[in-house]
Amino acid sequence: MTGTNGVQLTEEETELYDRQIRLWGLDSQKRLRAARILIAGLNGLGAEIAKNVILAGVKAVTLLDHQKVSEADFCSQFLVPQTALGSFRSEASLERAQHLNPMVELKADTEQLAAKSDEFFKEFDVVCIIGASTEELLRVDNVCREANVKFFATDLWGMFGYSFSDLQEHEFMIDLVNYRVISKPNEKRKTETYTTPVKRTLQYPAYQTLIDFDFRGDAYARKLKRNGPALPLLRVLQAFRDQEQRDPAYDKREEDLIKLLQLRDSLAPGIVPDDAFVHVFAQISPVAAIVGGAVAHEIIKVVSQKEAPHRNVFLFDYEKCCGFVELVGAES
């Protein structure tokens, strides 16, 4: 993980990031200013993550995407102009992304994720993968674990989204709030609050634990009843992608609904209701903003080493319009 050694903010940077420095401190901003981030997958969710990370003031962001702009992208991908139809999404996103923060180094890469060597991912402090197959997610996560690179997998299907974080061993600072008495003897008792910075360390499991997680076991039954079938739904949608080498498409809605229900009956029988698949087509802009904002916030927390990151799966419940965090594959 990047540190603050040798990183100095210019007067212009200090002025630009003044509010952030007041929020999380100068050292945290210096860590952000030294960080190199990879965002692979520039759909609507990827655009939201890129926007927030760039505005935070990292050193460099690489936008990796071999797919070309389609009409479906205009539902949520605000970085690509209408005139970019048929162009590479990564290159088409570059100009508007750079206008967000000219101080951040941006690079567009049109190569396929699967074509990237293991060494490529080791150049970054954080790798965020969107829209990939299970095979590629496992490969990239294993590479990141070997190189101590922080790994995020995230996705959005219609109104359902999630993120998984593998931070290996992660150190961070939290501010513990305490109280002390400031009144004098025989006076009315008065207290004031003060904070003490404390270092914490958390262990994060690999992406393989999410694949191996048994949501049909008795141990998860109570959580399943309380939180709903988000994890099983994720399993089905990822299996659809692996099987069809694409996501459910609104122009093949009836055909894809049949395939989704068949996968559901195989992977999560009696757990995921039929209507859970009604809103998993295309990407909905407001949900992309919510999930993308949550993922970007986690990346910023991880790089700045300020506050405890989510551990380790974030799921967005579109029916309740709220997100929640599940701990998968690790002890609390």
pLDDT at 6: 65
Six token digits for residue 42? 């520039």
Same domain, 40 and 177: no
H or E stretch at 21: helix 18-24
Whether the Cβ atoms of residue 302 and residue 150 lie closer than 8 Å to each other: yes
Same domain, 127 and 187: no
297 within a domain of the structure (yes/no): yes
Q: Which domain holds residue 248?
A: 214-268
Residue 2 has pLDDT above 60, yes or no: no
Same domain, 110 and 240: no
Same domain, 144 and 227: no
Q: Distance (Å, rounded) from C-alpha 211 to C-alpha 267?
A: 12
64 within a domain of the structure (yes/no): yes
Q: What percent of the chain has pLDDT over 90?
A: 75
110 within a domain of the structure (yes/no): yes
pLDDT at 240: 98
Residue 294 has pLDDT above 70, yes or no: yes
Total count of domains within the chain: 3
pLDDT in tens, 230-239: 999 999 999 9
Asked which of 134-138, 202-206, 212-216, 238-242 is least confident by mean pLDDT, the reply is 212-216
pLDDT at 281: 92
Same domain, 316 and 236: no
Q: Distance (Å, rounded) from C-alpha 60 to C-alpha 51?
A: 13
Whether the Cβ atoms of residue 284 and residue 316 lie closer than 8 Å to each other: no
DSSP codes, 237-274? HHHHHHHHSS---GGGHHHHHHHHHHHHHHHSTTTS-G
pLDDT in tens, 64-102: 999 999 998 998 999 999 999 999 999 999 999 999 999
